[in-house]
Amino acid sequence: MGDTSYHLILMAPPCYTGDMETDTYRAWNVFDPACPTRAVLDRIGDRWTVLVVLVLLSGTRRFGELREAIAGVSPKVLTATLRALERDGLVVRHVYAEVPPRVDYTLTQLGRSLETPLQAIRAWAETNMPAIEAARRAFR
Protein backbone atom coordinates (compact mmCIF):
# COMPACT_ATOMS: atom_id res chain seq x y z
CA MET A 1 0.00 0.00 0.00
CA GLY A 2 2.91 2.37 0.70
CA ASP A 3 1.99 5.84 -0.56
CA THR A 4 -1.71 5.10 -0.93
CA SER A 5 -2.38 4.56 2.78
CA TYR A 6 -0.39 7.68 3.63
CA HIS A 7 -2.49 9.77 1.24
CA LEU A 8 -5.70 8.33 2.64
CA ILE A 9 -4.73 9.53 6.11
CA LEU A 10 -3.93 13.03 4.87
CA MET A 11 -7.19 13.19 2.93
CA ALA A 12 -9.27 12.32 6.00
CA PRO A 13 -12.38 14.43 6.57
CA PRO A 14 -11.87 17.88 8.04
CA CYS A 15 -12.11 18.56 11.73
CA TYR A 16 -15.62 18.96 13.02
CA THR A 17 -16.35 20.87 16.14
CA GLY A 18 -19.59 20.78 18.01
CA ASP A 19 -21.42 20.99 21.28
CA MET A 20 -19.88 18.80 23.98
CA GLU A 21 -23.07 19.14 26.05
CA THR A 22 -25.12 17.35 23.41
CA ASP A 23 -22.28 15.17 22.14
CA THR A 24 -22.86 16.38 18.58
CA TYR A 25 -19.23 16.61 17.57
CA ARG A 26 -17.76 13.71 15.66
CA ALA A 27 -14.57 13.57 13.66
CA TRP A 28 -11.50 15.23 15.09
CA ASN A 29 -8.62 15.16 12.62
CA VAL A 30 -5.07 15.99 13.69
CA PHE A 31 -4.09 16.33 10.03
CA ASP A 32 -6.43 19.31 9.60
CA PRO A 33 -4.38 22.41 10.55
CA ALA A 34 -7.50 24.19 11.82
CA CYS A 35 -8.47 21.36 14.17
CA PRO A 36 -8.06 22.05 17.91
CA THR A 37 -6.48 18.61 18.32
CA ARG A 38 -3.30 20.19 16.95
CA ALA A 39 -3.09 22.40 20.05
CA VAL A 40 -3.60 19.34 22.25
CA LEU A 41 -0.75 17.54 20.48
CA ASP A 42 1.45 20.61 20.95
CA ARG A 43 0.62 20.63 24.67
CA ILE A 44 1.21 16.95 25.37
CA GLY A 45 4.20 16.81 23.04
CA ASP A 46 5.98 19.67 24.78
CA ARG A 47 9.02 18.43 26.70
CA TRP A 48 8.16 20.45 29.81
CA THR A 49 4.61 19.09 29.83
CA VAL A 50 5.91 15.54 29.59
CA LEU A 51 8.31 16.09 32.48
CA VAL A 52 5.73 17.86 34.68
CA VAL A 53 3.19 15.08 34.14
CA LEU A 54 5.78 12.38 34.81
CA VAL A 55 6.74 14.05 38.11
CA LEU A 56 3.11 14.59 39.14
CA LEU A 57 2.28 10.94 38.47
CA SER A 58 3.99 10.20 41.78
CA GLY A 59 1.76 12.65 43.64
CA THR A 60 1.02 16.26 44.48
CA ARG A 61 3.96 18.66 44.32
CA ARG A 62 4.67 22.27 45.18
CA PHE A 63 6.15 24.62 42.59
CA GLY A 64 9.63 24.45 44.12
CA GLU A 65 9.53 20.66 44.21
CA LEU A 66 8.58 20.55 40.53
CA ARG A 67 11.35 22.99 39.65
CA GLU A 68 13.88 20.93 41.58
CA ALA A 69 12.74 17.66 40.00
CA ILE A 70 12.84 19.11 36.47
CA ALA A 71 16.37 20.41 36.18
CA GLY A 72 16.82 23.11 33.57
CA VAL A 73 13.29 24.54 33.51
CA SER A 74 13.05 28.24 34.25
CA PRO A 75 10.42 29.51 36.70
CA LYS A 76 8.74 31.43 33.86
CA VAL A 77 8.47 28.37 31.62
CA LEU A 78 7.33 26.13 34.47
CA THR A 79 4.64 28.66 35.42
CA ALA A 80 3.43 28.89 31.81
CA THR A 81 3.41 25.09 31.49
CA LEU A 82 1.45 24.63 34.71
CA ARG A 83 -1.08 27.30 33.68
CA ALA A 84 -1.59 25.65 30.29
CA LEU A 85 -2.03 22.24 31.93
CA GLU A 86 -4.52 23.74 34.37
CA ARG A 87 -6.42 25.46 31.55
CA ASP A 88 -6.62 22.18 29.62
CA GLY A 89 -7.94 20.30 32.66
CA LEU A 90 -4.86 18.13 33.16
CA VAL A 91 -3.67 19.71 36.42
CA VAL A 92 -5.50 21.25 39.34
CA ARG A 93 -3.91 24.02 41.39
CA HIS A 94 -4.67 24.16 45.12
CA VAL A 95 -3.97 27.47 46.89
CA TYR A 96 -3.85 27.41 50.69
CA ALA A 97 -4.38 30.57 52.74
CA GLU A 98 -1.20 30.27 54.76
CA VAL A 99 1.75 32.50 55.45
CA PRO A 100 3.75 32.09 53.34
CA PRO A 101 1.15 31.05 50.74
CA ARG A 102 1.28 27.40 49.71
CA VAL A 103 0.33 26.21 46.23
CA ASP A 104 0.14 22.54 45.28
CA TYR A 105 -0.30 20.97 41.86
CA THR A 106 -2.03 17.64 41.28
CA LEU A 107 -2.95 15.72 38.15
CA THR A 108 -6.64 15.40 37.37
CA GLN A 109 -8.08 12.10 36.13
CA LEU A 110 -7.64 13.44 32.60
CA GLY A 111 -4.00 14.22 33.36
CA ARG A 112 -3.48 10.78 34.88
CA SER A 113 -4.81 9.24 31.68
CA LEU A 114 -1.54 10.34 30.05
CA GLU A 115 0.42 7.92 32.24
CA THR A 116 0.48 4.96 29.84
CA PRO A 117 1.47 6.86 26.68
CA LEU A 118 4.01 9.08 28.43
CA GLN A 119 5.61 6.19 30.32
CA ALA A 120 5.84 4.32 27.01
CA ILE A 121 7.54 7.29 25.34
CA ARG A 122 9.90 7.66 28.30
CA ALA A 123 10.81 3.97 28.18
CA TRP A 124 11.30 4.12 24.42
CA ALA A 125 13.60 7.16 24.69
CA GLU A 126 15.66 5.64 27.51
CA THR A 127 15.89 2.23 25.79
CA ASN A 128 16.78 3.57 22.35
CA MET A 129 19.20 6.34 23.33
CA PRO A 130 22.31 4.25 22.51
CA ALA A 131 20.99 3.60 18.98
CA ILE A 132 20.08 7.25 18.55
CA GLU A 133 23.53 8.37 19.72
CA ALA A 134 25.12 5.91 17.28
CA ALA A 135 22.98 7.25 14.44
CA ARG A 136 23.95 10.80 15.33
CA ARG A 137 27.64 9.93 15.32
CA ALA A 138 27.26 8.22 11.93
CA PHE A 139 25.39 11.21 10.51
CA ARG A 140 28.31 13.60 10.88
Neighbour-count burial of 71, counting CB atoms closer than 10 A to its CB (0-12 exposed, 13-18 middle, 19+ buried):
exposed
**104 occurs within a structural domain:** yes
The 8-class DSSP code of residue 28 comes to -
* Strand (E) or helix (H) holding 62: strand 61-62
Note down the domain range covering 81.
Answer: 36-139
Using one digit for the tens of pLDDT, what is the confidence trace for 18-34? Answer: 555 656 555 788 888 88
**125 occurs within a structural domain:** yes
**5 occurs within a structural domain:** no
**18 occurs within a structural domain:** no
> Can you give the pTM of this predicted structure?
0.78
Lowest mean pLDDT among 36-45, 68-77, 104-113: 36-45
**9 occurs within a structural domain:** no
Using one digit for the tens of pLDDT, what is the confidence trace for 49-69? Answer: 999 999 999 999 999 999 999
Number of domains into which the chain is organized: 1
Is the pLDDT at 36 greater than 90, yes or no?
no
120: CATH:
1.10.10.10
**17 occurs within a structural domain:** no
